[in-house]
Every structure is written in structure tokens, then in C-alpha cells.
Amino acid sequence: MVMAAMSMLRKLRVWMRRPSAADARNSKAVLRSNPQTVCVKPVRVVHRSKKKSTVEQVLLTLIGDEVAGDPVSGERWIQRSLRSLQRALAEQGERLSHETIRRLLHKHKISPKANVKRLTPDPHPDRDQQFRYIQSQRQQFQGAGWPIISVDAKQKELIGLFRNPGQVWCHAPTAVYLHDFPQDALGRAIPYGIYDVQANRGYMYVGQSADTPDFAVDCIAHWWQHWGSDLYPAAPELLILADGGGSNGYRPRRWKYQLQLRLADAFQLKVTICHYPKGASKWNPIEHRLFSEISKTWAGTPLTSFAVVLEALRQTTTATGLIVVATFIEQTYEQGLSVSDVLMETLALHKHDTCPAWNYSLCPRQTGN
């Protein structure tokens, strides 16, 4: 009995001990002697769970159903937050935290995004031709030493303690009104700008009534009388670069009539006007040469009075030598004035062969004044 127990114990020890180097050598020898012997390791079969992929498919389906719209016009939209997506998944039997939903969306490169302004409507067929013609006109006037001005009306500004976008260095921010209600304003500034392309000078006129063609032409006539005629005493012609719309657009008859009466006839000066096509106002030199610098000057500063507006305009300078002259216009301008067909026929208006709607000249008439 004792001998049998000891024999079984020895067998158990041999079975339990780890394989040694000698065992490994013996195993290799066995494989060499019998090539058909194959050692097969146990393979663990992993069953991939389909729940996660199913949840992702449901989530992507919910996101794909997102649409936009306008409740006023009757169009509908569904803009879901993470919490609303969480509730929608719970209704379908899938319970996930909002952070897990966020992680799954980021995995598929889905994140909250705003609209991006990238699309443009079909351009006017004469757009490129007009740009080329404006460039040729500028080269012609620059070569002759004649004046070229770029004109436009800047954004209207409420006068008072209203927020002005931007920041300034100070100990404490200036408190302003919560809302920009016009009835709380002391007035409304209407800046109209004239930029002398060749002299790199800006002339700003601040009105207080309305941006009308009469106001625009009065500003140009005032500039020519006080500065333009002195800078270009021998110039027989003036080139005006303007946008296609607004008070100085190519459509208003009043704009052309006032140019004839207040500028061409009054100073016996030929005036040529070239308008930029629709949607191309940012290429008007005054936009990036003058208006952008003015916005930088009064950024973060509430325009509490007309005096503050004028002082900010006069302080606008650049490293290239820009100088700005500011003038306040007290006159009140009436809106809605029209010009009859009979008066339009009396104008010395000559349309150019290239894009005649956008390019035209007004020759002085012998009025005797």
C-alpha cells in the first residue's frame, strides 16, 4: 500500500512540473522524427458584440434626419442636442449617456457646425469685362494725372451709449445699453466717404438725416470745391468709382441728375462714373483703404456724440500715410425725390460702349452760371 501511494505521488509530481529545456529539446526531437505530429494551441473564439455597431447605426440615422427650416414660413426643422439624441435613443431601447453619444459622433467626425458662406450665385455675364474696363479707366486717368475718387456710404451709427464691437485697453469696461433701440439714441450718424486713390487721402462727411443721392452729390461737390480743384487744378475730367446700389448706384435717376447739376455744370467738369457689379463692393478701394481703418480706430468705443465721431475719423491714420478729413453736414435731406423723363432728356449723359448701364459720362452744359 505504501509503495503504491509513493509511486502515484511520483507520477503526480512529474505531471504537475513545468516543462524544462530538456523537455523542449525532446519535443523538437519528436517533431523531427515524426513530421506529421502537429502541436495545436487552443484557440479562443471571440464573439464580437453587434450591439455597439447597431447603436451607432441608429445614432447616425437620427443625425441623418436632421433638417433646417423657418417656423414663420411653415417650413420645419429638427435641431437636436446631445440630450435630445439621448432621449430619442432611449425611445428605441438604447440607453447611452450624452458623453458616450458625443464620443460616438466624434468618432464619425460629426460635431456642431455653423453655416459656411462659400456659395455664390451665378455672376453677371459682364462681371469680368467690367472689372477690366474699370482697370483700363484707372490706368488712363493715372497716366494723365487726373483725379480718381472712390465713394460709398459707411454703415449708419447710433449716437449714444451703444455697444461698439471691438476692445480697448482700459481698467474697466464702459457700461452701455443692453439693447440698441433707436428711440434711445441722441441721433444717427450717416458717414459718407470719398477716397482719393492717387493722393491716399480720405474725406468723411457725417450727415444726420438720410443717405440720399442729393446728400452723396453734395459731399462730392464740396470735396471738389474745397480740395479736389486745388489738388488737380488742370484736370478736365473726374473719375468716380462707386458701388452698383445705394444712394450712388447706377439706377437712381436723382444721382445722375444731381451730378449733372451740382458737379458737371457747376464746375464745368466732365464726370465719368464706373460702377462695380453686384456683389463686388469689397473691391471698391474705399472699402479696404478707408472704411476698414476707420472701424479699427473706433472699435470698442461708444460713439456718444457727433463730436466723438468726427474726432475718431480725424485720428484715423495708417503707416502708408493715410490722412482723413472729417466734416459735419447739418442740412436735412428729403427722401423719395424723383426725376421726370423730361428732365432726364436734358442731361448731357453719354453711355460708354462697354457695359453702358455701369459706365457713363456727364459733360458740362453751358448754363451761364
Q: Do 88 and 187 reside in the same domain of the chain?
A: no
* In-domain check, residue 30: no
Tens of pLDDT along 150-190?
A: 999 999 999 999 999 999 888 899 999 999 999 999 999 99
Q: Are strands 201-207 and 349-351 parallel, antiparallel or unpaired?
A: unpaired
Mean pLDDT value of segment 10-14: 60
Q: Do 157 and 300 reside in the same domain of the chain?
A: yes
- Given a contact cutoff of 8 angstroms between Cβ atoms, the answer to whether 160 and 304 are in contact is yes
Q: Do 282 and 169 reside in the same domain of the chain?
A: yes
Q: Do 82 and 146 reside in the same domain of the chain?
A: no
Q: What is the pLDDT of residue 108?
A: 79
d(CA 205, CA 163): 22
* In-domain check, residue 37: no
Consecutive H or E run containing 204: strand 201-207
Q: Do 82 and 207 reside in the same domain of the chain?
A: no
Tens of pLDDT along 234-251?
A: 999 999 999 999 999 999
* In-domain check, residue 69: no
String of DSSP letters for 147-177: -EEEEEEPPPEEESS---SS----SSPPP--
d(CA 213, CA 209): 13
Q: Do 153 and 96 reside in the same domain of the chain?
A: no
* In-domain check, residue 257: yes
Mean pLDDT value of segment 303-323: 96
Q: What is the pLDDT of residue 23?
A: 55
Q: What is the pLDDT of residue 202?
A: 98
Best CA proximity match to 352, nearest among 123, 134, 128, 125:
134
| 170 or 331, which is more confident | 331
Q: Do 140 and 104 reside in the same domain of the chain?
A: no
Confidence of residue 68 (pLDDT cuts 50, 70, 90): very low
Q: Do 201 and 336 reside in the same domain of the chain?
A: yes
Q: Do 105 and 131 reside in the same domain of the chain?
A: no
Matching residue, cell 476692445: 167
Picking from 91, 113, 135, the residue at the C-terminal end of a domain is: 113
Q: Do 195 and 280 reside in the same domain of the chain?
A: yes
**How many domains does the chain contain in total?**
2
Q: What is the pLDDT of residue 77?
A: 45
- pLDDT at residue 29 is higher than 80: no
* In-domain check, residue 70: no
Q: Do 351 and 234 reside in the same domain of the chain?
A: yes
* In-domain check, residue 61: no
* Mean pLDDT comparison of 11-20, 86-95, 222-231, highest-scoring range: 222-231
Confidence of residue 5 (pLDDT cuts 50, 70, 90): low
Cell readout for 352 is: 460708354
Q: What is the pLDDT of residue 43?
A: 47
CATH number at residue 253: 3.30.420.10
Read off the amino acid at residue 4: A
Best CA proximity match to 85, nearest among 110, 109, 118:
110
Tens of pLDDT along 121-151?
A: 888 899 999 999 999 999 999 999 999 999 9
**Residue 182, SS3?**
helix
Q: Average per-residue pLDDT in the chain?
A: 86
The domain in which residue 90 lies consists of 75-113
Long-range Cβ contact pairs of 75-81 (< 8 A, separation 24 or more): none
Q: What is the pLDDT of residue 18?
A: 53
Picking from 85, 113, 141, the residue at the C-terminal end of a domain is: 113
- Given a contact cutoff of 8 angstroms between Cβ atoms, the answer to whether 224 and 315 are in contact is no
**Residue 11, SS3?**
helix
Read off the amino acid at residue 182: P
Tens of pLDDT along 192-214?
A: 999 999 999 999 999 999 999 99
pTM beyond 0.85, yes or no: no
* In-domain check, residue 29: no
Best CA proximity match to 279, nearest among 115, 90, 131, 104:
131
* In-domain check, residue 12: no
Q: Do 108 and 170 reside in the same domain of the chain?
A: no
Cell readout for 183 is: 428711440
Confidence of residue 48 (pLDDT cuts 50, 70, 90): very low
Mean pLDDT value of segment 202-227: 97
String of DSSP letters for 284-317: SHHIIIIIHHHHHHTTT----SHHHHHHHHHT--
| 298 or 37, which is more confident | 298
DSSP 8-class letter at 198: T
